[in-house]
Every structure is written in C-alpha cells, then in structure tokens.
Structure 1
Amino acid sequence: MRAFIDAHDWINAYYLAPYSPDFNPVESIWSILRRTSQANAAFTDPEHLIRRLRHGLRQIQYRSDIINGCLTGAGLTPPTPRLQAQ
C-alpha cells in the first residue's frame, strides 16, 4: 500500500488510531445520515435500509460544504479543488 500511495502524488494518506471517532470524518457522515435520511425510519428489510442509505449518501455526495465540514471537524484540511483541463 505504501508503494502505491508513494507512486500517486494525488493521494493523501492519513493514519488514524484504530478506533478514534473524533478524528474520523466518516463518523460525521454517519451522524448526518442518522439525523436525516435514516431518522424516524422503520426498515422493512435489508434492501429498504440499503436504498435509504444510498439515497442519503447521494444527497450529500456533491455537497462539498458538508464533506469539508466533516473533514474540518476531524482536524483535517479539506482538499483544494483541482482545475479541470479545458
């Protein structure tokens, strides 16, 4: 894994403790999902849960402000947007 990361300069690797929810931006994403798309829901089967999770993730997928907030809350620096070649 180290060789792959070193070979690709666009990858930023952050090493975290095995369980450190305060430093893990994914925990913030789960928290947002629990308060929005998953709130007050009784799932009829696993597929229903998966559909609701995917819907919730799609809602925040392109919301860089939410994602950057999760990164900042974990003490990480949000990435700077890359310019697209025209």
Structure 2
Amino acid sequence: MSKTEPSVRIGKLLEAKVITRAELDAAVEAFIVNPQVGAFEIAPGYTVDLTAAVKADRHATATVKEPTAKSGSRRAAIRSALLLARLM
C-alpha cells in the first residue's frame, strides 16, 4: 500500500500487516492520555488524526464522554473508531 494514499482506512492497513496491533494499541493509549492529541504517526510514514477519528464516530464520542463508561468500553470504542479512520 502506498504511504501517500489517504483514502486507506486504518483497518485495511492492519489487515495488510502494514501496521501492527501494538501500534494500534499505542494510538488508543495516546488518545486516552490526551484526547486533543490530533495528528499521530501510527506507523512510520502513516499519520492519522486521532481526535478527528473519534469525533467522527458517534458511538466512540458518546462512550468517551459517558462518565460511567468502563475503561474497556472506552478502549474498544476508540479502537473501533480508529479502525474506520482514514490516513491524513
């Protein structure tokens, strides 16, 4: 996959083994630590806007804002939003 193809979803990069689960998990953690993180290099040469990705997903946005949401639910919602996100 071309590094310059912004229409590629993160989930497709994971399927193609261009990025690893560990890199995806690091992106989830980066968002949890700082929800305003913005651009994040998920793998060398591949950047995604974490904040925009979560905001674009209604379920993830609602889960992150829900004060009673459990940590695992938040992580799963963020991960799901990132898998659907496109590169910058």
TM score, norm. by length of structure 1: 0.30
Query: Which structure has the larger Rg?
Result: 1
Which has a greater percent of strand?
2
Greater RCO (Cα-Cα under 8 Å, separation 6 or more): 2
